[in-house]
Structure 1
C-alpha cells in the first residue's frame, strides 16, 4: 500500500521541479566571441539565472548602486569591487543568494583588477570623483585608473567593456574634471578596442548632488546669475540604459545620454523652492573670484565642502549634443515627474502634504516645452 502511493508522489515532485525550473530553448543560449556560452534558465526575475557575470567598478557610488540593483533583478551575477567594507553592505541584498560577489580592490593594483574581471563577460567602469584629493586627483582616477581597468580587462579576455564618462567631456574645457574625462575616453578606446563610451548628463535622484544641494545650499547654484543651462537626467534611466547593454551586442561608439530638456539653474532653484515650500534664497550672487577664494578655503576640512573646479563648472553650459537613447532602449523622463520624491523631505511638517505647484517653464528655444501637467 505504501509502495503504490510513493511512486505517484515521487513523479509529482519531479514534475513540480521541472515546472519550477522552466523550459529551455535555443534563445536561452548565447555564445560570446570568446566561445563562452551564456545559458539562461528559470522564469525572468530576481531568482532567475541570466547566465551573465558582470563586474561593476564604482558600484558603491550614486549610479553604481542602481545599476547593481537593475542587473541583480534580472538574475545576473554581479561582481562588486569595493574599498571600504561598510560602503558595499547595502548591495548584498539586491541579488539572490550567491549572485552578489564582493571583492576588495585598489585602482592601482592590477592583480586585484584582474581577479575582479576574469570570470565576467562585460565590465562597467563607473569610477569617478567630483573633487581632487592628495591621494587621488582627477587624472589618477579618470585617466590612469580608467586606462588601467580597460587594459587589464582586455588582457583578461573579457569581450565587452563599458566606460561611463560625462556629457561635457572636452579636452578644451576650462574644468579639470571635464578635461580628464575626455582624456580618459581616449585612453580607454586605445586600451580596449570596441569599448562603449557612455556620456550621461547631470544625474538626479535620492542621493544626488543636484536637487539635494539646491535645497540645502542654493547660494552656490546662483553663480553666473543662475543662467547656466543644464540637461539633468534621471539616474534610474541611465542605470536602465546601462543594464540593457548586457543583452545587446557591443556598441563600439560614444553614446550621449542627456536629459530630455535644457533648463537653467534658475528654473531648477524655482522648482525646488516650489516643491519644498521654502522661500527663494535672497543671498547675493557671489562674483566668480570670491566664489573661487571661498572654495579654496573650503578645502581645509578633510571632507571638502566645495571645490574650485565645482565653481568653474557652474559657469559651463551642458553640451548641446543630441541624445542616443534609442540605442539603449530607454525613453528619458522629465525632472518634474520625479523631483518631489527627492526634495519632499525638506518640507516642514505643516507643508508636508500640501499639493505641488510647478513653476513656469523657461522658453530657451523658439518652441516651448510641453510637459502635459
Structure 2
C-alpha cells in the first residue's frame, strides 16, 4: 500500500510523462508552422493547431468552432458585432477562443486574424443582397482577398465553403457568384480546398424553421423541387476532420444522404408538429417575383428576395433518384444522418401547448400521413 505522499509523487510523474512532448507528437503541415500537441485528449488539451474561422458567427460557424475548440485547437474568431461572438467564448478552454474585430474590407485586420494560423476556414456567405454588401463582394472579391492574404502570411491550408449547386450557368446569382468565388480563391491559392455542402438544417436553420412558419413560400414549383438536406453537425465535423488530415482534397461535395421534395418535408413537419398541412395555394412565379422585388425596395429589413425565389425552382446537384450520388463523405470518414432522425428536435417548438409533450411511440407503428415514412417507423425510438 503506497503512502499518501508516494501516491502524490507517482501521480505527478505520470502527469509529466503524459504531457511530455515527443517526436510522435510533432506534425509539420508546412516548413514554417510546426504543430506540437501536448496534454491529455479533450477540451483541456493543446492540439498545437491554430485555426481561423471567418464567418464563425453564422449558422455553420458556431458548430465548427465548437468542434475545433473541444479538441484543444486554438480558434481565432473574427467578428463584426460585439454581441454576435459572445456565445463562442465558452466553447473552448481558457484562452483557446480568441475574438478579433474584423471587417472584410480591411486587409490589415484580415492579416492579423490569420498570421498565427496553420489552417483558415472561410464560411462567409450571404443569402440576400443588402445596400452594404452584394453577392459579388461577399462570395467573390472578399474570399479572394482572404485567400491572397492567407497565402502571403504563410498559411499552408485554406478551406473555402461554397454550395452544392455552385454553377457558372445557374439562373440564380447566388449560385453563380459561389462558383466564381471558387475560381477566384483557386487563382490566388491553388492548393485551397473547396467544400460544397447541401442545404443544411439544425437549430438555427433557414430550412425547417422557415418551412414550419411560412409553408406558403415553399409551395412554389408545386413543392416539387428536389433537394439533398444535410445535418449541420455532419458538415461541421467534416470540416473539423480536415484539420487533422495530411493531404486535403481539391473539391469536396457534401450532399445529404437522401433526396427529398419540399412537399415531403412540409408533410414531415406537419406530422411531427401535429399541425394541419397548409392549405395555401401555389402562387405563380411571376407574381411572387414581382411582390418580392417590391418588398425588397420598400422595406429595410430582410424579406424573401427574388433570387431566393429563383432558388426554390432549382433542384440540387445529384437530386435525381435514378443516379447514385453520395458525395465525398468517405474522405472525412463520416456517414451523414437522415433528416427524419433529427427533425423532431428542431420543429417540436412549433407544436401547440396541448401537443407539446405528446409522444410519438414508433414501436407501436402509429398512423403516419407520410407515404415514404418507412424510415421513420422502422426505428425503435420514442420521442
In the aligned structure 1, how far is the partner of 2:113 from the partner of 2:350?
A: 40
Task: For residue 309 of structure 1, give the secondary structure of its aligned residue in structure 2.
Answer: helix
1:140 Cα shift? Answer: 0.4
In the aligned structure 2, how far is the partner of 1:192 from the partner of 1:371?
A: 48
- Which residue does the alignment assign to 1:106? 103
In the aligned structure 1, how far is the partner of 2:294 from the partner of 2:13?
A: 66
User: Aligned residue pairs: how many?
Assistant: 362
C-alpha contact (below 8 Å) 2:49/2:117 kept by paired residues: yes
Structure 1 residues 35 and 226, CA gap change in structure 2 (3 angstroms): same
CA shift digits 1:84-115 (9 cap, x unpaired):
00000000000000000000011111111000
Structure 1 residues 370 and 92, CA gap change in structure 2 (3 angstroms): closer
- Which residue does the alignment assign to 1:210? 207
In the aligned structure 1, how far is the partner of 2:247 from the partner of 2:108?
A: 26
In the aligned structure 1, how far is the partner of 2:275 from the partner of 2:294?
A: 29
C-alpha contact (below 8 Å) 2:340/2:376 kept by paired residues: no
In the aligned structure 2, how far is the partner of 1:29 from the partner of 1:224?
A: 54
CA shift digits 1:214-236 (9 cap, x unpaired):
00000000000000000000000
In the aligned structure 2, how far is the partner of 1:371 from the partner of 1:259?
A: 20
- Which residue does the alignment assign to 1:345? 349
In the aligned structure 1, how far is the partner of 2:369 from the partner of 2:96?
A: 44
CA shift digits 1:159-209 (9 cap, x unpaired):
001000000000100000000000000011111121100000000000000
- Which residue does the alignment assign to 2:46? 49
1:8-23 aligned within 5 A: 9=5, 13=8, 15-20=10-15, 22-23=18-19
More deviation, 34-43/260-269: 34-43
Q: Residue 58 in 1 paired to residue 55 in 2?
A: yes
1:370 Cα shift? Answer: 9.3
- Which residue does the alignment assign to 1:324? 328
- Which residue does the alignment assign to 1:83? 80
Among 193, 214, 222, which residue is 2:219 paired with? 222
- Which residue does the alignment assign to 1:3? none
Among 269, 273, 276, which residue is 1:272 paired with? 269
1:91-130 aligned within 5 A: 91-130=88-127
C-alpha contact (below 8 Å) 2:341/2:376 kept by paired residues: no
1:19 Cα shift? Answer: 2.8
- Which residue does the alignment assign to 1:185? 182
- Which residue does the alignment assign to 1:5? none
1:141-180 aligned within 5 A: 141-180=138-177
C-alpha contact (below 8 Å) 1:194/1:250 kept by paired residues: no
Q: Structure 1 length normalisation: TM-score?
A: 0.93
- Which residue does the alignment assign to 1:360? 370
In the aligned structure 2, how far is the partner of 1:249 from the partner of 1:181?
A: 27
In the aligned structure 2, how far is the partner of 1:104 from the partner of 1:359?
A: 50
Structure 1 residues 215 and 95, CA gap change in structure 2 (3 angstroms): same
CA shift digits 1:264-294 (9 cap, x unpaired):
0000000001111110101111100111122
Task: For residue 81 of structure 1, give the secondary structure of its aligned residue in structure 2.
Answer: strand
In the aligned structure 1, how far is the partner of 2:244 from the partner of 2:292?
A: 44
Among 278, 281, 287, which residue is 1:281 paired with? 278
In the aligned structure 2, how far is the partner of 1:212 from the partner of 1:12?
A: 55
| Unpaired stretches in structure 1, ≥5 consecutive residues | 1-7
Among 309, 312, 332, which residue is 1:311 paired with? 309
